Each structure stands twice: as structure tokens, then as C-alpha cells.
């Protein structure tokens, strides 16, 4: 069993947990993920590894409460244990040889962007981090990004914190000011990554995106996480989650993701009602 040793609400809908999993902590690299189950009847939930602590033997996960399973996960407290916690899965983000990179994160995707930013910075790479949120109340990991980047630009849609606008506005401003990058890494909502890629394509900058479609087994057997990349079918769990953003069929990925939203919303509402009745 995998015990929860720390729990923290980062904002009203996003929670961080540190899980005791020393073997996974020893092997995990930025970009990889785990699949967990809250209990023996639980749904498999894929979550990117946000951080590790080798001394404590812990793996940090950051999740947004959007469905029944994440609602159930959020009701666990320090001292409780997860039924399954499997990983590390997927391929690590390739960082070798990069000298200057812009990492663009959106919303809860910043939880995935942070460990990549940290690794690049620790390798001596010049890192410009651009992070965006809808408003001030939803900002997460600001201090962590400050410590792991040479420049941090924080954007909010409504201007309630940082600069007003989208991450694409901030990235374009950096590029137009003369900044050049070996690579851009974009992690966040599908629509955000799509428009970042459209922008960087104009500037001829290679762009890597982290794709997080629905996953079930995490081994490539179920086919649930399939994507079209460069005209070919790829599976995010084994071929990714990182892909060349200029080759990803974002319109297809967005359409497939939207298919599950009504089911996710209904399951979340039922779970919330269930927990209210229990209390």
C-alpha cells in the first residue's frame, strides 16, 4: 500500500499529495507518469510525476478535481493509503544538449511543466518560464517556478495577477523582443498547446508538447490514448507523452477529449452527492 505522507490544497480545485513510493522515486524522470487507483474498485487515473524526494522516498502528484475518481482521491487524508501506484510510465522528457528553452505551462499543466523546468535549470540551461491561469485564485507553483528559471512571466486571463493576457501573448512578446530558443516546451490544455504550436511554427522553433488523453492500462494495449502524429497513430502512454507539437493533430485530439466531458461531469456530480450524504 502506498501511504499519503503530505497533502496540500494548491487552490480550490487543485491538490498536491506526496506518496511514499521509494522505488518509483528512485527511477522517475521529468515527463513520466504514474497510474493509481484509490481502492480495489477504483478507476485507473494517470497523473504526471510532479516531483520526487529521494531522501524521503516520496513521489509528488498534483491533480485537479474534475471527476468521480479525483473527487474520491481528494477525500483521502495523510495516513491513508492508495490501493495501486504504478510507474514510472512513459518516456522522460529529452533535455540533453538544450542551451536555452522556453517552457510554457497552462493551468494545472504547470504541475507537469515544473519538473521539466527544474531539470533543465539544474543542467545549466537558460530557462524562460511562461505560465498562465484564468485568475489569481488558480495560480499554483509560482515560487517553485521562480527558483527554477532565469525568467518567469506569469499571465492571467483577467489581469487579476501578473500580466493580463494569454501565454501566447507573452511568448510572442519574448520572441519579438529578440529572444531565441533551441526549443519550446508547451504543457497545458489542448487548445493552449495548439495555439502555442501555431505561433512557434511561424518562428521555426521546434516545439514539444505533453499529451494527456484518456488512458486505461498505460501499456499501449487498450488504444484509448491514441493520437495522430505526423499522419501516424501513436499511443501517448508508450510513445509519449511528449510529441513534436507541429505534427500533432490537435483538432482530432480536442474532439476526442470532448466526447468524455458529459460522462465525467455526471460522475463527478454523483460522487459529490455521495460524499455529502456520507457526511
DSSP designation for 65: -
pLDDT digit string (tens) for 107-140?
999 999 999 999 999 999 999 999 999 999 999 9
Q: How does the average pLDDT of the chain come out, rounded?
A: 91
The band of 78, judged by pLDDT with boundaries at 50, 70 and 90, is very high
CA separation (Å) from 60 to 101, 114, 166, 215? 24, 12, 28, 20
**Distance separating alpha carbons of residues 60 and 5, to the nearest angstrom:** 10
pLDDT at 267 over 70: no
Kind of pairing between the strands at 183-187 and 100-106: parallel
| Beta partners for residue 136, in sequence order | none
Contact call for residues 171 and 184 (beta carbons, < 8 A): yes
CA separation (Å) from 7 to 61, 75, 263? 10, 11, 28
Mean pLDDT confidence for 141-146: 96
**Distance separating alpha carbons of residues 186 and 92, to the nearest angstrom:** 15
Contacts of residue 235, defined as CB under 8 A and 6 or more positions apart, other chains included, come to 220, 223, 225, 226, 227
The band of 253, judged by pLDDT with boundaries at 50, 70 and 90, is very high
What pLDDT, on the 0 to 100 scale, is given for residue 248?
Answer: 96
Residue in this structure with the C-alpha cell 527544474, named with its chain if needed: 118
Helix axes 190-203, 167-176, angle to 10 degrees: 10
What pLDDT, on the 0 to 100 scale, is given for residue 139?
Answer: 96
% residues pLDDT > 70 (the chain): 93
Q: Which helix (H) or strand (E) segment is 250 a member of?
A: helix 250-259
What pLDDT, on the 0 to 100 scale, is given for residue 270?
Answer: 52
Mean pLDDT confidence for 205-222: 84
pLDDT digit string (tens) for 44-56?
889 999 999 999 9
**Higher-pLDDT residue of 43, 178:** 178
Mean pLDDT confidence for 167-180: 97
pTM: 0.88
What pLDDT, on the 0 to 100 scale, is given for residue 217?
Answer: 73
Mean pLDDT confidence for 34-39: 93
**Which domains, and CATH codes, for the chain?**
2-89 (2.40.30.10), 91-209 (3.40.50.80), 211-266 (no CATH)
What pLDDT, on the 0 to 100 scale, is given for residue 92?
Answer: 92
The band of 160, judged by pLDDT with boundaries at 50, 70 and 90, is very high
197: cell is 504550436
Instruction: Reduce the DSSP state of residue 170 to 3 states and report it.
Output: helix
CB neighbour class for 112 (10 Å; exposed up to 12, middle 13-18, buried from 19): buried
175: cell is 520572441
Among 222-226, 244-248, 255-259, 270-274, the minimum mean pLDDT is found in: 270-274
pLDDT at 225 over 70: yes
Amino acid at each position: 500500500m502506498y501511504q499519503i505522507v503530505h497533502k496540500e490544497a494548491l487552490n480550490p480545485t487543485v491538490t498536491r499529495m506526496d506518496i511514499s513510493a521509494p522505488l518509483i522515486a528512485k527511477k522517475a524522470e521529468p515527463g513520466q507518469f504514474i497510474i493509481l487507483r484509490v481502492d480495489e474498485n477504483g478507476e485507473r487515473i494517470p497523473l504526471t510525476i510532479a516531483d520526487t524526494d529521494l531522501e524521503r522516498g516520496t513521489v509528488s502528484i498534483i491533480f485537479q478535481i474534475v471527476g468521480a475518481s479525483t473527487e474520491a482521491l481528494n477525500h483521502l487524508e495523510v495516513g491513508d493509503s492508495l490501493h495501486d501506484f504504478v510507474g514510472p510510465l512513459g518516456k522522460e522528457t529529452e533535455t540533453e544538449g538544450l542551451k536555452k528553452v522556453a517552457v510554457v505551462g497552462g493551468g494545472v499543466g504547470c504541475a507537469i511543466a515544473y519538473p521539466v523546468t527544474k531539470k533543465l535549470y539544474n543542467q545549466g540551461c537558460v530557462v524562460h518560464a511562461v505560465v498562465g491561469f484564468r485568475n489569481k485564485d488558480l495560480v499554483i507553483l509560482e515560487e517553485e517556478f521562480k527558483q527554477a528559471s532565469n525568467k518567469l512571466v506569469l499571465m492571467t486571463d483577467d489581469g487579476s495577477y501578473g500580466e493580463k493576457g494569454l501565454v501566447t501573448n507573452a511568448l510572442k512578446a519574448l520572441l519579438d523582443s529578440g529572444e531565441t530558443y533551441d526549443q519550446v516546451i508547451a504543457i497545458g490544455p489542448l487548445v493552449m498547446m495548439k495555439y502555442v504550436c501555431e505561433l512557434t511554427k511561424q518562428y521555426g522553433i521546434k516545439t514539444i508538447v505533453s499529451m494527456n488523453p484518456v488512458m486505461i492500462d498505460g501499456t499501449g494495449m487498450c488504444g484509448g490514448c491514441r493520437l495522430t502524429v505526423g499522419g501516424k497513430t501513436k499511443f501517448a502512454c508508450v510513445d509519449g507523452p511528449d510529441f513534436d507539437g507541429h505534427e500533432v493533430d490537435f483538432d482530432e485530439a480536442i474532439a476526442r477529449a470532448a466526447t468524455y466531458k458529459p460522462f465525467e461531469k455526471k460522475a463527478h456530480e454523483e460522487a459529490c452527492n455521495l460524499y455529502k450524504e456520507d457526511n
